[in-house]
């Protein structure tokens, strides 16, 4: 049934031309990893620290859930399951890892669905977020890189994790001293998922020429990314909370300067530091460490730098 739906959408896509497919390609961009990382970082640094904490905390949890489910189900991508499926354009370049559940759908549910759950935004913005929660997952089946169940489970799981995260933060507001416990449990779960992905067995299916269809250990790379991001956020969150305490209650020009400086550092780390780390530390460990650095920069390093650069009253105690 799922392949039948994809074939129908593929025939429709081919019949009406590229204009709608190009629009769906733009929609899928809003669910890509670097896109959501930048959005969450800007919210955290410049707009609202509380929302900016909630989004990456829930997103980090979703990356762990997504990574665990992917390496557990080991579901092949649609074009591997059925050669009649031909994804649109270069859509396969954004389709990393196993197919189930959809990472883009869980990203959309984290960032835009998280905004809906919080109910802190204007009606117009919340309607826009709701559309993105629908259009980003739909774009994945329209472009032929996921099945309907991939996106359905991705959305449901993503929204569930964000709801649980909101409840956790409300509980932490009443018990702020429990942040270290949450961090330790979160890191332990992430480490367990990493070990599971590293040592489990993967399907070894071959095509008629004797070539391995999918290398499971390569597909697990997305899981190791999620582990690095999760540990980086949890560590940075506790350190910032206890020793930095920066505020987003600053003038608009200060917010703009923060955004520009923060994104400059983010891209230096993403485009220079992370590839260097992966070259120095091969395999899963390099992926975990590089993604840890990326999220640790967002959650702690740049906020710590802000308190050194801006007025003293914007910061709290300094660890160094």
> pLDDT confidence of 319, banded at 50, 70, 90?
very low
Q: Residue 96: what pLDDT?
A: 78
Q: Residue 108: what pLDDT?
A: 96
Q: Residue 91: what pLDDT?
A: 79
167-187 confidence digits (pLDDT tens): 999 999 999 999 999 999 999
Mean pLDDT of 148-152: 96
Range with the poorest average pLDDT among 135-149, 177-191, 208-222, 287-301: 208-222
In the predicted structure, residue 137 carries a pLDDT above the cut 70? yes
**pLDDT over 90 percentage in the chain:** 77
Q: Cα(157)–Cα(155) distance, rounded to whole angstroms?
A: 6
In the predicted structure, residue 77 carries a pLDDT above the cut 50? yes
In the predicted structure, residue 72 carries a pLDDT above the cut 50? yes
In a domain? residue 53? yes
Q: Residue 164: what pLDDT?
A: 97
Q: Across-strand partners of 264? A: none
- Whether 248 contacts 49, CB under 8 Å: yes
Q: Residue 312: what pLDDT?
A: 55
Mean pLDDT of 121-149: 93
Nearest to 62 by CA among 198, 183, 287, 226: 226
In the predicted structure, residue 316 carries a pLDDT above the cut 60? no
- Cα–Cα distance list, 188 to 9, 41, 194, 291 (Å): 42, 24, 10, 17
Q: Which residues contact 278 (CB under 8 A, 6 or more apart)?
A: 286, 287, 290
Number of domains the chain is built from: 1
Q: Which residues contact 16 (CB under 8 A, 6 or more apart)?
A: none
Q: Residue 196: what pLDDT?
A: 96
In a domain? residue 131? yes
Q: For the whole model, what pTM was predicted?
A: 0.91
In a domain? residue 320? no
In a domain? residue 256? yes
In a domain? residue 9? no
> pLDDT confidence of 317, banded at 50, 70, 90?
very low
> pLDDT confidence of 311, banded at 50, 70, 90?
low
Mean pLDDT of 44-69: 96
Q: Compare 72 and 120 and report the one with higher pLDDT.
A: 72
In the predicted structure, residue 277 carries a pLDDT above the cut 80? yes
Q: Cα(15)–Cα(36) distance, rounded to whole angstroms?
A: 32
Radius of gyration, CA atoms only, the chain? 20
Mean pLDDT of 149-170: 96
Find which of 89-93, 117-121, 296-300 is predicted with most confidence, using mean pLDDT: 296-300
Q: Compare 274 and 316 and report the one with higher pLDDT.
A: 274
In a domain? residue 222? yes
* pLDDT, averaged across the chain: 91
Q: Compare 209 and 310 and report the one with higher pLDDT.
A: 209
In a domain? residue 73? yes
Q: Residue 318: what pLDDT?
A: 40
Q: Compare 285 and 120 and report the one with higher pLDDT.
A: 285
Instruction: State the residue range of the domain holding 125.
Output: 14-314
Q: Helices 302-309 and 252-268, interaxial angle, to 10°?
A: 130
In a domain? residue 5? no
**HEC sequence for the chain:** CHHHHHHHHHHHHHHHCCHHHHHHHHHHHCCCHHHHHHHHHHHHHHHCHHHHHHHHHHHHHHHHHHHHHHHHHCCCCHHHHCCCCCCCCCHHHHCCCCCCCCHHHHHHHHHHHHHHHHCCCCHHHHHHHHHHHHHHHHHHHHCCCCCHHHHHHHHHHHHHHHHHHHHHHHHHHHCHHHHHHHHHHHHHHHHHHHHHHHHCCCCCCECCCCCECCCHHHHCHHHHHHHHHHHHHHHHHHHHHHHCCCCCCCCHHHHHHHHHHHHHHHHHHHHHHHHHHHHHCCHHHHHHHHHHHHHHHHHHHHHHHHHHHCCHHHCCCCCC
């Amino acid at each position: 049934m799922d392949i039948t739906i994809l074939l129908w959408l593929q025939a429709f896509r081919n019949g009406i031309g590229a204009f709608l497919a190009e629009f769906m390609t733009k929609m899928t961009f809003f669910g890509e990893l670097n896109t959501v990382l930048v959005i969450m970082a800007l919210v955290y640094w410049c707009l609202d620290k509380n929302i900016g904490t909630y989004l990456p905390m829930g997103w980090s949890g979703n990356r762990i859930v997504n990574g665990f489910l992917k390496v557990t189900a080991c579901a092949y991508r649609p074009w591997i399951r059925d050669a009649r499926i031909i994804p649109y354009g270069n859509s396969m370049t954004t389709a990393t890892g196993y197919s189930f559940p959809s990472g883009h759908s869980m990203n959309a549910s984290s960032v835009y669905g998280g905004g809906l759950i919080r109910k802190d935004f204007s009606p117009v913005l919340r309607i826009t977020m709701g559309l993105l929660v629908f259009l980003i997952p739909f774009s994945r089946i329209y472009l032929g890189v996921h099945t309907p169940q991939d996106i359905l489970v991705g959305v449901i799981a993503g929204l569930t994790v964000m709801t649980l995260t909101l409840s956790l933060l409300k509980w932490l507001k009443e018990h702020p001293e429990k942040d270290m416990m949450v961090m330790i449990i979160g890191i332990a779960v992430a480490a367990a998922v990493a070990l599971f992905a590293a040592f489990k067995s993967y399907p070894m299916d071959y095509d008629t020429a004797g070539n391995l269809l999918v290398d499971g250990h390569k597909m697990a790379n997305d899981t190791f990314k999620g582990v690095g991001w999760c540990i980086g956020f949890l560590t940075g969150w506790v350190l910032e909370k206890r020793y930095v305490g920066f505020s987003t209650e600053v003038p608009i020009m200060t917010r703009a300067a923060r955004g520009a400086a923060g994104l400059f550092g983010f891209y230096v780390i993403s485009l220079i530091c992370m590839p260097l780390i992966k070259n120095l530390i091969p395999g899963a460990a390099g992926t975990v460490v590089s993604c840890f650095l990326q999220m640790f920069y967002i959650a702690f390093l740049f906020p710590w730098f802000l308190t050194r650069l801006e007025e003293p009253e914007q910061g709290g105690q300094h660890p160094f």
